Structure 1
Amino acid sequence: MQLLRLGAPGTEHPAVRTDEGVVHDLRPITPEVDGAFLAAEGIARTRRALAAGELPVVEGEHRVGPPLAGIGKIICIGLNYSDHAAETGAEVPREPVIFLKTPDTVVGPHDEVLVPRRSVKTDWEVELGVVIGRTARYLDSEREAMDCVAGYVLSHDVSEREFQIERGGTWDKGKNCETFNPLGPWLVPADEVPDPQRLPMRLWVNGELKQDSSTKNMIFGVAEVVRYLSQFMVLRPGDLINTGTPAGVALGQPEPKPFLRAGDVVELEIDGLGRQRQQFGQA
């Protein structure tokens, strides 16, 4: 099954999609798919409600919003694929590189993404998102880390490279522009993803394949990322971790680099986690 949220921006409501593609309303058991829902065994409650026939079917077409509400923080891992580090001229990190995105960058998987004013280097990045379901502090093992994962989601870590790299300070200026984190279409429970390190991932720009890789190529896998982060911050239910992108971004391509412009269309997917499509507009 897949958890999702339907409706206009700001008024989304929770739903669940079965493996047969039937969408059911989740409001009989929860007002939202958020950290509180995940911490209160919401996924197990959803399965019981589906089995009991307690959730009405959702009819018609609806906008798909981001599948997770009330995100506490978004922690991102930079340079987590060796081929991506190489293409950008960076050294392969000895420890995970951490930066943050603000939750208000999150939009739906098919919403418009805005190229920032004065941007000349807006870039794409397909990523595996990890959603936390239990509070994690100072975890001792990767097994403990995986017990804290509620599920996985397709995430688009849009970046502005001039803001990020050439304007001084930290990376945050190039990562937190409006609409810079399309998320979804759905959240897949962790126990329905047999191996998060065996997920093929792809991204196209205007129909041209740009990224074609797999999460097996991560430098630091999901379990180690969660364990490592818990040594420096408390991870709470509803937090999101963007785990990095493989090679194929605009920054790593020959001159003239094909950075995104208004009118471009980006499509991305991770096997089992769905597909996104965004048309880029001008802020």
Structure 2
Amino acid sequence: MNESKTKEISTELKKKVIISMDRIKTKTETVVRSAKRGHPKLVFNRSSKRTKRRRIAQLSKIDESASMALRCKMLSTEMCKANIDEVLSLFIETNMSKHQYILIRTFATSYKLLSMAKASSYPDKISVSESQAEVDLQSLVDHTASRIIRLQNDVLDSIGCDLDDNLVLIGKWGFDGSTGHSEYKQKFMNNDMNDTSLFVTSYVPLQLKMVGNDPKHQKIIWKNPRPSSTRYCRPIRFQFQKETSQLAVNEEKYFKDKIELLKPTICTISNNKIIVEHSLQLTMVDGKICNALSEISSSTYVKRNQQR
């Protein structure tokens, strides 16, 4: 009995060992086979743009010349022509770097042309010193008016605008100060100066309209879609100065004198000369600036109203 039982136990143990070994083999086989599962790889020409960029990035680690050849081939077959102003707007709106633009570029516009268009979007006569940076107001409004006129060329052609029509570019301007900025270890030539405070004067175009003697013939050529956004805000002057009442008064007088000396802008569209006059209103101010300019504090204003 003992011998027969031992034989039976040994045979059972052998079966269990064989079964466990088979299970181990099947697990390893499934692991190996699972690596080959999934969709088969497509050829490069039939792959998506994202897949192509990923494969080119992988290939660039091995052979840079081959990756450049594939990238040029992909761009030459998939590029589409686009307006340089639209591409520049997309580039600025998305805050792309040069490297990012070159990697995802799908337009027939090189970065060199894009940088030239970006440089042409800046006004002339920009002066920079240790304590401030300023653009000439006449140059800024001329540049703004010419850019708007060029973008609204189709609208002007449809309404038949010419030299006899009076166009007015209405805008707002103002100034404000901010404090608490980071102070860097960069020495100024004037030891009393620091960069913890900033005083900024800026200008925002609101609308370009055609003005005539008859109010019925007044037409809006262009209107700012986001008048309170920084997207259309154009800084006139930066200063490393703390906001004070005297600084606000001096800033108002400085730019009001410049506004009175502004000349109309003459633009040429389709061999037609268009004259654009400028109207700037001081509306971008807060309560503190209003009190400084009016020389009346808010508490005094409330007391006067209560006495009435």
- Shorter-chain TM-score: what band? under 0.3
Structure 2-normalised TM-score?
0.21
Structure number with the bigger relative contact order (C-alpha 8 A, sep ≥ 6) is 1
TM-score (structure 1 length as normaliser): 0.22
Compare the two structures and name the one with the higher helix fraction: 2
* The structure with more radius of gyration: 2
